[in-house]
């Protein structure tokens, strides 16, 4: 027992260091009790900065980043301190992946779909148009080999991901005018992100991708005829419900959206195993809490918006059929161009078909009967 190791441990004496190599706490991973020497040596504090794609005003999104960071802190006895920053402070909202990959920030909290053009295979991490709902996405990630497959793609960018939240099924967005058929989409200037935007382009829409914190400004400047973001809670936080009368559903391009904590692989590999474990577990906890919050808050806010007079409108079945056909044609083209996309697409398609069949039996049959509240 070297006495000098004890000196720095007086409460509050935080030394900011990056741990190089493995600390003595590495032993924890083996579930053997660490010796006093090992515990006392683990005196270093790792401080990381996290670039978040969402402004603080979107308090479920940003709050989830905060929850994750707090939990990692607690689980490491205050020795692994991650601080989340809103867009623009460390990286622009739509460039968080680039910053993590380039190691200009330690980690990020973002949506893979933002990077769909450059890295189409990453969209399997956030979710695809006509793809999996939140429950199915988690089933694929944790029970169907999805997470391992996605990590192989992130690895090529020197990044590792930890799914840490899902919005649930999103809304189709706010439209100035009625959309009856595919023709009504022609020339419409719409804010829509990622793969959904690319498919909308094929359907005739003029797509603009604007970061969450800049949507309202774009509308005020008359640059948009329609905008989709998330759902009642976040949309109204941004003020979108005041910009158009019609609120369309469903977002067939986002039956769910999974949010990732991204960590630079080099930094990750230098973390003691106990810190790594804390990240993994905190991410899963954040996952369940975030989805619960989106569901509870969206449900309440939809009621309020309806009371305020917004008009809910379903997309016509025919329009969705055309969109679905175009979507799978697009996937075919992507698979032909991009090997990473192709491999993931094959595994994902099989999983999707199997779980659609199961959920048609157990979940959909009940929901169809019960949700319309016609009986009780």
Q: Tell me the sheet residues that pair with 47.
A: 81
Among the listed residues 211, 179, 164, 205, the one whose alpha carbon sits nearest the alpha carbon of residue 61: 164
The smaller minimum CB distance to a copy of itself, of residues 213 and 228, is found at: 228
Residue span 226-265 as binding mask against a copy of itself, x where in contact by CB under 8 A, dash where not: -----xx----------------xxxx--x----------
CA–CA separation, 172 vs 230, rounded Å? 8
Residue span 78-97 as binding mask against a copy of itself, x where in contact by CB under 8 A, dash where not: xx------------------
**Which range of residues in 137-145, 198-206, 219-227, 235-243 is near a copy of itself by CB under 8 A?**
137-145
Residue span 37-66 as binding mask against a copy of itself, x where in contact by CB under 8 A, dash where not: -xxx----x---------------------
CA–CA separation, 114 vs 198, rounded Å? 12
- Give backbone dihedrals phi and psi of 340, rounded to 5 degrees, phi first: -60, -45
Question: Residue 329 interacts with a copy of itself (CB under 8 A)?
Answer: no
Coil, helix or strand at residue 50: strand
Strands (E), 204-273: 206-208, 226-227, 246-249, 258-264
Question: Residue 16 interacts with a copy of itself (CB under 8 A)?
Answer: no
> Binding a copy of itself by CB under 8 A: which of 18, 33, 220, 223?
33
The pair of structure tokens assigned to 138 is 């988690």
CA–CA separation, 124 vs 128, rounded Å? 6
Question: 259 with 267: CB under 8 angstroms?
Answer: no
Question: Residue 296 interacts with a copy of itself (CB under 8 A)?
Answer: yes
CB of 303 to a copy of itself, least distance (A): 6
The smaller minimum CB distance to a copy of itself, of residues 191 and 274, is found at: 274
> Binding a copy of itself by CB under 8 A: which of 22, 24, 34, 201?
34
CA–CA separation, 200 vs 127, rounded Å? 16
**Which range of residues in 109-117, 150-158, 166-174, 207-215 is near a copy of itself by CB under 8 A?**
166-174
């Amino acid at each position: 027992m070297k006495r000098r190791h004890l000196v720095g441990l007086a409460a509050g004496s935080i030394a900011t260091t990056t741990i190089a190599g493995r600390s003595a706490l590495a032993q924890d991973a083996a579930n053997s009790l660490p010796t006093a020497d090992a515990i006392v040596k683990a005196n270093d504090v790792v401080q990381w900065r996290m670039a978040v794609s969402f402004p603080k005003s979107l308090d479920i999104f940003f709050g989830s980043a905060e929850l994750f960071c707090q939990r990692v802190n607690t689980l490491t006895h205050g020795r692994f301190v991650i601080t989340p920053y809103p867009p623009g402070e460390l990286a622009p909202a739509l460039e968080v992946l680039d910053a993590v990959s380039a190691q200009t920030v330690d980690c990020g909290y973002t949506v893979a779909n933002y990077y769909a053009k450059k890295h189409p295979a990453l969209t399997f991490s956030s979710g695809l148009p006509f793809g999996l709902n939140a429950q199915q996405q988690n089933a694929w990630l944790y029970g169907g080999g999805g997470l391992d497959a996605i990590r192989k793609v992130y690895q090529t960018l020197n990044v590792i991901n930890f799914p840490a939240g899902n919005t649930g099924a999103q809304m189709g967005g706010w439209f100035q005018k009625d959309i009856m058929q595919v023709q009504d989409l022609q020339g419409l200037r719409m804010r829509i992100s990622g793969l959904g935007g690319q498919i909308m382009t094929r359907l005739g829409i003029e797509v603009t991708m604007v970061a969450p914190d800049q949507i309202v400004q774009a509308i005020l400047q008359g640059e948009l005829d329609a905008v989709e973001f998330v759902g009642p809670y976040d949309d109204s936080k941004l003020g979108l419900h005041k910009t158009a009368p019609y609120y369309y559903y469903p977002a067939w391009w986002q039956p769910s959206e999974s949010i990732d904590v991204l960590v630079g692989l080099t930094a990750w590999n230098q973390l003691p195993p106990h810190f790594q474990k804390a990240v993994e577990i905190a991410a899963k906890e954040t996952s369940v809490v975030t989805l619960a919050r989106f569901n509870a808050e969206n449900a309440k806010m939809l009621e309020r918006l309806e009371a305020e007079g917004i008009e809910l409108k379903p997309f016509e079945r025919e329009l969705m059929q055309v969109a679905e056909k175009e979507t799978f044609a697009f996937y075919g083209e992507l698979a032909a161009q991009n090997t990473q996309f192709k491999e993931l697409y094959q595994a994902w398609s099989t999983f999707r078909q199997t779980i659609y069949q199961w959920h048609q039996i157990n979940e959909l049959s009940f929901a169809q009967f019960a949700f319309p509240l016609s009986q009780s």
